[in-house]
Amino acid sequence: MAYGMLIDQKKCVGCHACSVACKEAHGTPPGVRRSHVVKEIEGTYPNVTRNIVPMLCMHCENAPCVEVCPSGASQKREDGIVWIDKTKCIGCKSCMMACPYDARYYREDELGYFGEALNEYEAVMYPAMPKGTVDKCTFCHERIDAGASQPNACVMACPAGARVFGDLAEIKAQAEADGGYQLLAEEGTNPSVWYVPAKKNQ
């Protein structure tokens, strides 16, 4: 079974809970935003809408990052999850160039949010984020593998209940039945993350 995620933009309020919950669950260093929210205004005043798009790795079926990775660090699991074996990552950033979704981050240094001295939390969490390697959303595969019933930090946090994680086939069916779409579908990457647009109620 492959995993997928559905994000319902009608429900999403753009509150950044997914973003910060991801950061604290994984201890990602400054500048690494595995999960974040992009907001754009469309239209001209007063006929405007704000398109709110929570972003993360799309865990593409045809993942260009995996294809270009020279060291074999970027890999795709049988369940569709794209991940990086940091022991193999050489920090060449080719995957970052290849990713159409800007979902990857390179850790330049070993600084924490308050500079060189790491706080208590950072001291525990940052060794898993080595300098000179690339980082990205893992669909919380560590937690899936550990058997957590609610593995995804972003899904669990979401105050609006806008995210669903599970069997990609079911996610896709649910999305398509609700007018869902994939980001940059024309790239041919076939993302495992589906979005349902925020249509206005009449």
Residue ranges binding another protein (CB under 8 A)? 8, 10-17, 19-21, 23-25, 27, 30-31, 33, 36, 39, 41, 43-46, 48-50, 52, 113-114, 117, 119-125, 142-143, 146-153, 155-167, 170-171, 174, 198, 200-202
Q: How far is residue 110's CA from residue 132's CA, in Å, rounded to a whole number?
A: 9
The CB-of-67 to another protein minimum distance in angstroms stands at: 29
Q: How far is residue 137's CA from residue 35's CA, in Å, rounded to a whole number?
A: 7
36 Rama class: left (phi>0) / alpha (psi -120 to 50) / beta: beta
Q: How many residues does the chain have?
A: 202
Question: What does the DSSP 8-state code read for residue 150?
Answer: S
Query: With respect to another protein, which residue has the nearer C-beta, 167 or 187?
Result: 167
Query: With respect to another protein, which residue has the nearer C-beta, 100 or 112?
Result: 112
Token pair for residue 24?
Answer: 């604290």
Query: With respect to another protein, which residue has the nearer C-beta, 69 or 101?
Result: 101
Query: With respect to another protein, which residue has the nearer C-beta, 59 or 74?
Result: 59
First to last CA, the chain: 38
Query: With respect to another protein, which residue has the nearer C-beta, 69 or 157?
Result: 157
What lies within 8 Å, CB to CB, of 188 at 6+ separation is: 62
The CB-of-156 to another protein minimum distance in angstroms stands at: 6
The CB-of-170 to another protein minimum distance in angstroms stands at: 5
Asked whether 104 and 134 are in contact (CB, 8 A), the reply is: yes
Give Cα 131 distance to the centre of its chain: 20
Q: How far is residue 61's CA from residue 188's CA, in Å, rounded to a whole number?
A: 9
The CB-of-28 to another protein minimum distance in angstroms stands at: 10
Query: With respect to another protein, which residue has the nearer C-beta, 147 or 186?
Result: 147
The CB-of-70 to another protein minimum distance in angstroms stands at: 30
The CB-of-94 to another protein minimum distance in angstroms stands at: 25
